Amino acid sequence: MTGESIAAELLAAYDAGTRTPLFSTRPGGLTLPQAYEAANVLRGLRISRGERPLGWKIGFTNRSIWDRYGVHAPIWGPVWDRTVAQIDGTSHRVSLGGLVQPRLEPEIVFGFARAPTIGMSAAALAGCLEWVAHGFEIVHTHYDDWRFAAPDTVADFALHGRLLIGPRLPVARFDDLRGELAALQVALRRNGEEVDRGKGSIVLDGPLDALRTWVDAMHIQTPQWRIAAGDIVTTGTITDAWPLAAGEQWESVLSEPRLPGLTLYTEA
C-alpha cells in the first residue's frame, strides 16, 4: 500500500459514506509514519478540490478511553471549512448525513493569535492564543464497530467529522487559563438525561497541557504541517465519545460560567 492508494480509498469511502477494511490488518500492515503520509496526501487532495483547512483536531488525549479503543497516545489531523461551524448562540441543528457511525465529544477549542514554537511553557503558549470556546466535535470512522489501531485512525481523517464551536471568550478573561480549564467540569445529557460527566484534567492534565503536548509532537512527527495564526484547535473529549442518532437532543453543562453549555439537535 502507498500513501496515495490509502488516501484514494479513504476519500472514496468518505464521499460515499461507506466503510472500508482496516489497513493495519492487511498484508504489510500500516505504521504511524505511513499513516501520516497518507493523511498528508488526503489533505492535499481535499485542498485541490476546493476545501480549505481551518486548523486542527487532537484526538485521544482522554486517557480514560485509551484501553477501550486501543489507542494510547494523541493523534491529530486537519479540520475544514466544510466541517467546522461557529454556533450562533448556544444551540445548533446538525445533519448526520454522510457521517459513518458518528459519536459526540464535548471539548475545549482554542484559536491562535500567533504561531507557537516547540518547547514553550504553558504560560508562553497561552500568550499565543486569542480565544477559548466550548465545542462539540462529531467524530466518525469508516472502520467497522470502532475497532482499529492508532495508524488506522490517523489515516482515517483523524476520525474528524464535524466541529461545532460555541461562543468565543478572549483568553485574557482568565487569570489562570491552564488551571481553570483543568478544573472545568462537563456534564453531558441526551434527551434530558445525564449520560456522562468529565473533568478538564482528563485530557493530558488539562486542555492547555494537551495543546502543548500536541505542538511539540506536531513539530517532530509532521513537520510538513505548520500551525499558523488564525488556526483553530480542538483538544479532545472530556467525556467518553457517545453514539449519535437522528432525532436526539444533546446538552452540555459546564462548571465554568464564562463558557456556556451547548444544545445540539441531530437530524438525518
- Give residue-wise pLDDT tens across range 241-252: 999 999 999 999
For residue 1, the model assigns a pLDDT of: 87
Rg (CA), the chain: 17
Contact by Cβ (8 Å): 239, 61: no
Q: What is the mean pLDDT of the chain?
A: 97
| φ and ψ at residue 262, rounded to 5 degrees | -125, 155
What would the mean pLDDT of 183-187 be, rounded to a whole number?
A: 98
For residue 107, the model assigns a pLDDT of: 98
Contact by Cβ (8 Å): 107, 261: no
For residue 71, the model assigns a pLDDT of: 96
Question: What contacts 57, CB < 8 A, 6 or more positions away?
Answer: 76, 77, 78, 79, 137, 158, 160, 163, 233, 234
> In 99-243, which ranges are continuous DSSP H helix?
122-126, 150-155, 177-182, 207-221
Distance CA 241, CA 236 (A): 10
Largest CA distance in the chain: 53
Structural domains of the chain, with CATH: 3-267 (3.90.850.10)
For residue 189, the model assigns a pLDDT of: 98
Distance CA 62, CA 235 (A): 9
**Exposure on the CB side of residue 239, measured as CA atoms within 13 A:** 25
Q: Is the dihedral of CA 224, 227, 232, 235 positive or negative?
A: positive
What dihedral angle (degrees, nearest 10) is formed by the CA atoms of 27, 43, 80, 100? -20
Tell me the DSSP string of 38-82: HHHHHHHHHHHTT--EEEEEEE--BGGGHHHHT--S-EEEEEETT
For residue 86, the model assigns a pLDDT of: 97
* pLDDT per position as a tens digit, 80-104: 999 999 999 999 999 999 999 999 9
Element spanning 34, H or E = helix 32-48
Residue 55 grid coordinates: 486548523
The pairing of beta strand 185-190 with beta strand 249-254: antiparallel
| φ and ψ at residue 188, rounded to 5 degrees | -115, 130
pTM over 0.75: yes
| Angle value at C-alpha 126, between 120 and 130, nearest 5 degrees | 130
Residue 3 grid coordinates: 500513501
Q: Quickly state the pLDDT bin for 106 (edges 50, 70, 90).
A: very high
Q: What percent of the chain lies above the pLDDT cut of 70?
A: 100
